[in-house]
Amino acid sequence: MSKPETPAAANFLRPIVQADLDTGHCTKVITRFPPEPNGYLHIGHAKSICLNFGLAETFGGACNLRFDDTNPAREDQEYIDAIKQDVEWLGFRWAGRAHYASDYFDQLHAWAIHLIEQGKAYVCDLSPEEARDYRGTLTEPGRNSPYRERSVAENLELFARMRAGEFADGQKVLRARIDMASPNMNLRDPILYRIRHARHHQTGDRWCIYPSYDFTHGQSDAIEGITHSICTLEFEDHRPLYEWFLDNLPVPSRPRQYEFARLNLNYTITSKRKLKQLVDEQHVSGWDDPRMSTLSGYRRRGYTPAAIRNFCDMIGVSRAGGVVDIGMLEFAIREDLDATAPRAMCVLRPLKVVITNYPEGQQEQLELPKHPKQAMGQRTLPFSRELYIDRDDYTENPPKGYKRLVPGGEVRLRGSYVIRADEALRDEAGNLVELRCSYDPDTLGKNPEGRKVKGVIHWVPAGESVTCEVRLYDRLFCSANPEKTGEGGSFLDHINPDSLVVLKGCRAEPDLASAAPGDRFQFEREGYFCADLQDSRPGQLVFNRTVTLRDSWGQA
């Protein structure tokens, strides 16, 4: 019997969209996902992707992918390619071709001239420091720039010279003329264009002035006919400016902005600037390091698109902020892999076992199910005189509740016989190197007579098992709130020194020799693992731990 599906949490935008359709406010829902190509997508973006593409799918509409590429100094084609891959990996497809804000640079430039001609924009020569001083504070109004009253003709001339490349970066900007006394800081004559002598990945050297995000976003929405422009709550105070531009420009449509609470996940950093710092300073191996909160990192770690989509459904969409427990994300991947990952045995810290009363040269082919509940077929394990178990499954000083091998004690080998530990061999330094055991030949598939054996441990055949490397990944940060630092501190202070443990010389059952990059398994009693997408290959297997099992070691 399959497990009941986890119900999706509320999404406050669905009834809004439905009402817009019912009232004829729009006839077709068109949303967009507008990432900046200045880094890789992270788990927070997954929520936005699922929201925008999900609403479009639910209501039979379309969702555009649009790159907000207005800052070429920080953007790169690598990021564009990675973003496209991530969206497709999550299972979504954007409408038509991918769009770019740079597709609209000519129209935005024409609209900037329109605002100048209407007396609603001017060229300002204040330095960034002076502009901050003139802007005022949350409690004090700003002051008009001394360049605010330039004539239309002068502004048109100066803006044309900015476009022609006559001025250095930062020397001049184009600003909207709105209200320097507005209580909303975003309406205090915001910047429309900055000078940046930087080559653009889409337009080359054609432009040396680039529009601001605020000037670009709403107009791009209008050009594309977006009906519901959905963004996170930090843009709520930008909405009056979004609407001011739509009111004062001859745009072809009238999109509406809605805000939702962004995803805040404990033990996790989602700032692209800080993620880039982790990469640049080599605290991680790259954007796709399995400890990173990037979608490429989750993919390499073994997370599935279904698990991430289910997680986004579980947390829902609301306007109330808060912190989501990372345990919910781990629950989602466990639920998915529990049902879909075939079982296998892998000994992470091998200890050789010789079964002294098993005939030399004899071998049996044992059949074990690939999954205890799903019809995935069988796997074959050869059983003979020599095998490997995990070092942690034998001790001479057992703690309370220990159900594994002890001197003179018995355990069952998973899918095999009951064995008894008879003798432990050690080297000159006292290190355990081999265990001599005996087996009960009458316990294959049945319990021994007259005694009860509680423990079950995993094993692999010594001769036929395959050598592999196993990387035990854990949370990158040991603090639930890595952003919270003491005076002079940094989020880097909270990096978990045990976030990666590399084990070489592990031994896996023979069937895993054919594991392809990306294949996922439950290593019995150890956790869920994935063959690494970059480093794993035939003859050189590398497995990444996706997530631990819910059961503790005492519940094997």
Q: What is the tens place of the pLDDT at every residue in 411-429?
A: 999 999 999 999 999 999 9
- What pLDDT, on the 0 to 100 scale, is given for residue 424? 97
- What pLDDT, on the 0 to 100 scale, is given for residue 7? 57
| Catalytic member of 262, 352, 391, 436 | 262
| Catalytic member of 66, 272, 379, 507 | 272
Q: What is the tens place of the pLDDT at every residue in 105-124?
A: 999 999 999 999 999 999 99
Q: What is the mean pLDDT of residues 89-94?
A: 98
Domains of the chain: 104-211 (3.90.800.10), 263-340+467-508+515-556 (1.10.1160.10), 344-461 (2.40.240.10)
Q: What is the tens place of the pLDDT at every residue in 6-41?
A: 556 789 999 999 999 999 999 999 999 999 999 999
Residues 334 and 310 sit within 8 Å (Cβ to Cβ): no
- What pLDDT, on the 0 to 100 scale, is given for residue 556? 36
- What pLDDT, on the 0 to 100 scale, is given for residue 488? 77
Residue matched to tokens 């054996």: 453
Q: What is the tens place of the pLDDT at every residue in 473-497?
A: 999 999 999 998 877 789 999 999 9
Q: Which string of b and e fits 275-302 if b means at least 16 CB within 10 Å?
A: beebbeeeebbebbbbbbbbbbbbbbbb
Indicate the pTM of the whole model.
Answer: 0.93
- What pLDDT, on the 0 to 100 scale, is given for residue 9? 76
Helices (H) and strands (E) in the chain, counts: 12, 25
Average per-residue pLDDT for the chain: 95
Tokens of residue 65, six digits? 């992918």
Q: What is the tens place of the pLDDT at every residue in 71-86?
A: 999 999 999 999 999 9
226: left (phi over 0), alpha (psi -120 to 50) or beta: beta
Q: What is the tens place of the pLDDT at every residue in 237-259?
A: 999 999 999 999 999 999 999 99
Q: Look at residue 380 and tell me whether its pLDDT is greater than 60.
A: yes
- What pLDDT, on the 0 to 100 scale, is given for residue 96? 97
E-assigned strand segments in 289-377: 343-344, 346-347, 350-355, 364-369
Q: What is the tens place of the pLDDT at every residue in 57-72?
A: 999 999 999 999 999 9
Q: Look at residue 166 and tell me whether its pLDDT is greater than 50.
A: yes
Element of type H or E holding 71: none
Calpha distance 85→357 (Å, rounded): 56
The CA-based angle 295-239-39, given to 5 degrees, is 25
Dihedral angle, C-alpha 334, 335, 339, 340, nearest 10 °: -60
Q: Is 364 a catalytic residue?
A: no
| Cα–Cα nearest to 297, from 510, 107, 32, 40 | 40
- What pLDDT, on the 0 to 100 scale, is given for residue 5? 53
Q: Is 403 a catalytic residue?
A: no
Q: What φ, ψ does residue 358 adopt, rounded to 5°? A: -90, 135
Q: Look at residue 454 and tell me whether its pLDDT is greater than 90.
A: no
Q: Look at residue 351 and tell me whether its pLDDT is greater than 80.
A: yes
DSSP letters for 7-59: PPPPBTHHHHHHHHHHTTS-SS-EEEE---SSS--BHHHHHHHHHHHHHHHHT
Three-state SS at 448: coil
Residue 550 pLDDT level (bands cut at 50, 70, 90): confident
Q: Look at residue 4 and tell me whether its pLDDT is greater than 50.
A: no
- What pLDDT, on the 0 to 100 scale, is given for residue 6? 55
Kindly give, in sequence order, each residue whose CB lies less than 8 Å from that of residue 93, ignoring residues fewer than 6 positions away. Answer: none
Q: Is 262 a catalytic residue?
A: yes
Kindly give, in sequence order, each residue whose CB lies less than 8 Å from that of residue 49, ignoring residues fewer than 6 positions away. Answer: 33, 41, 86, 87, 90, 92
Q: Look at residue 471 and tell me whether its pLDDT is greater than 60.
A: yes
Q: Look at residue 551 and tell me whether its pLDDT is greater than 50.
A: no
- What pLDDT, on the 0 to 100 scale, is given for residue 321? 84
DSSP letters for 161-224: HHHHT-S-TTS-EEEE-S-TT-SSGGGSS-EEEEE----BTTTBTS-SEEE-HHHHHHHHHHHH
| Cα–Cα nearest to 265, from 195, 203, 328 | 328
| Catalytic member of 36, 243, 386, 483 | 36
Q: Look at residue 1 and tell me whether its pLDDT is greater than 70.
A: no
Q: What is the mean pLDDT of residues 193-202?
A: 97
Tokens of residue 331, six digits? 């629950």
Q: What is the mean pLDDT of residues 397-402?
A: 92
DSSP code of residue 387: E
